[in-house]
Chains A and B, each alone.
Chain A
């Protein structure tokens, strides 16, 4: 009986999430500085007769919406993996240093290689994110430390890199950081098909692999001894999954900027909706992450046009109250 109601609850949750996501994505096509009617959106998308808005719909809002879906989903996957691997609800891509590493690499690029075109910003971000995460991982390997200590190493590495970012921002000409600062707040401004074209195949491949491997997170969560007992090569699996999480987050961050909070929130929101079994949790977290970022980007465009508010700011503004609400209510459930 419980199992049946569990399954039907899951089905309801997924249906509602998918519908909300679909609604948010459609709204994202209509939201922005220039009002475009539903009729014109339909004409443009489906090549119908009548007035169209080719640039705004096909070249601006559509690629942005797709990029928001992709990055939101990938950051959510990354967060779910990191939380399971570290057995720590505080964990997120940010906590293993990815955001800070990416940010420092971008700032260094602007200062040390001023002649390098700003279009290389994503490359620097991926390298920096991976470097920071490798440092955290190396630290944990050398010391053979517990997941809690790994989190602490991650926080320390994050602070180290953040100090570097602060140093550069304070001591360097601020006008040079016009573009990096927009990116640091997590924005999809001026993102288009070119950016989507660079990352979609890699991210999709990593995302699908992660979802397929997500059942292993359930084993790892049982503890190393149990997982090894069940025939799992724990260190190897942990490395593979961590590498997936790092790449997913670093590549997403490189295109859409530091949207760090999504990786923390989406898994928690999903867990409160469908429980902790990863084959179900992971897809639910993906839908949640997608929903949050699409909604934030569209709202950022619609709120005060022609001024655009960074998605990173709005993700936190939408997500944080909801996140706190979930923590309070699930906390009560755990106590009772």
Chain B
């Protein structure tokens, strides 16, 4: 039988946890308002875009939901945050025990994946929940400020965001020389299918910012219902973008089987040699400032290649 004190500790655990975080900032997020300590030192992040935010201001997390594959944290990040983090498992179901054992003072979680575990995570440490997976580029930059505030590095983050905006504006200026009236479409393909990223998605909103238009048709009322649209060759032939950018998670990828098919060979992008490959992981899984700058760099190279071919 459990002792009365052991039972009591279960219920009072929450109460005891509160005074530790009393002096910090109140952060408004997707699940409410959370008091976080001043300059948290032991941070656990459960989505890749939050690493981008931490790296932006030179903070290393103690735990990352890296899907148990350390290589998913690319050198651009590890150069800044080092290699000392502990894997807390998958982004889908991170190990709460490992998170607890790390004794974090801040957890940054994703709305779509972790809202259901918010109460449980909050028992471990102050938790803020942001919409990384479902949000577009502008939302991901807005989240940088929230994270900057939570880290107690508001000014540093503001400066980094301003620098990022300037960097992106320069990219946009250059890319816009070639993007006006041109349709561009990004999609990821694995061994079983192709998913186009709609204008509502993170990558879609970036392409839009770069001045490209999209042939993906919104539903009634002009709203794109979904971020990632499974697409057949027939549907792709309807979208028929001028530039097709593919991220391949498998080799050969599903789309590779299409080459030689009249419908595929008839695509505008295929005929004009404007099908480009980018790193699927960087484009599709990573979101944030560093990630967006890498995307812009890729896009600039694509533009240069298309102008050479013209």
Question: Does A pair with B?
Answer: yes
**Are A45 and B2 within 8 A (Cβ)?**
yes
- Which of the segments A150-158, A230-238, A285-293, A301-309 contacts the partner chain? A301-309
Q: A117-B115, A190-B117, A190-B120 in contact; A173/B6 too (CB < 8 A)?
A: no
- Which of the segments A51-59, A258-266, A323-331 contacts the partner chain? A51-59
Q: Which residues of A contact B90 (CB under 8 A)?
A: 306-308
Separation of A55 and B97 alpha carbons in the complex (Å): 8
**Are B6 and A46 within 8 A (Cβ)?**
yes
- Check: B133 CB closer than 8 A to any chain A CB: yes
Distance in Å: Cβ of A200 to nearest Cβ of chain B: 14
Q: A190-B120, A306-B89, A307-B90 in contact; A178/B10 too (CB < 8 A)?
A: no
- Check: B98 CB closer than 8 A to any chain A CB: yes
Q: Which residues of B contact A54 (CB under 8 A)?
A: 9, 13
| Candidates A58, A174, A305, A306; contact of B9 at CB < 8 Å | A58
Q: Which residues of B contact A46 (CB under 8 A)?
A: 2-3, 6
| Candidates B113, B119, B228; contact of A178 at CB < 8 Å | B113
Per-position binary interface string of chain B over residues 111-138, scored 1 when its CB falls under 8 Å from any chain A CB and 0 otherwise = 0111111011101100000000110000
- Check: B70 CB closer than 8 A to any chain A CB: no
Q: Which residues of B contact A182 (CB under 8 A)?
A: 92-93
Residue of B nearest to A122 (CB): B116
Chain B interface size band reads 35 or more
- Check: A179 CB closer than 8 A to any chain B CB: yes
Separation of A170 and B115 alpha carbons in the complex (Å): 23
Q: Which residues of A contact B279 (CB under 8 A)?
A: none
| Candidates B6, B87, B120; contact of A306 at CB < 8 Å | B87
16 other A-B residue contacts (CB within 8 Å) besides A47-B5, A58-B6, A175-B228: A45-B3, A47-B9, A56-B100, A59-B10, A117-B115, A170-B230, A173-B226, A173-B227, A173-B228, A176-B134, A178-B133, A179-B113, A190-B116, A191-B120, A307-B68, A307-B93
A residues lining the B interface (CB < 8 Å): 32-34, 44-47, 54-56, 58-61, 117-119, 121, 170, 172-176, 178-179, 181-182, 187, 189-194, 301, 305-308
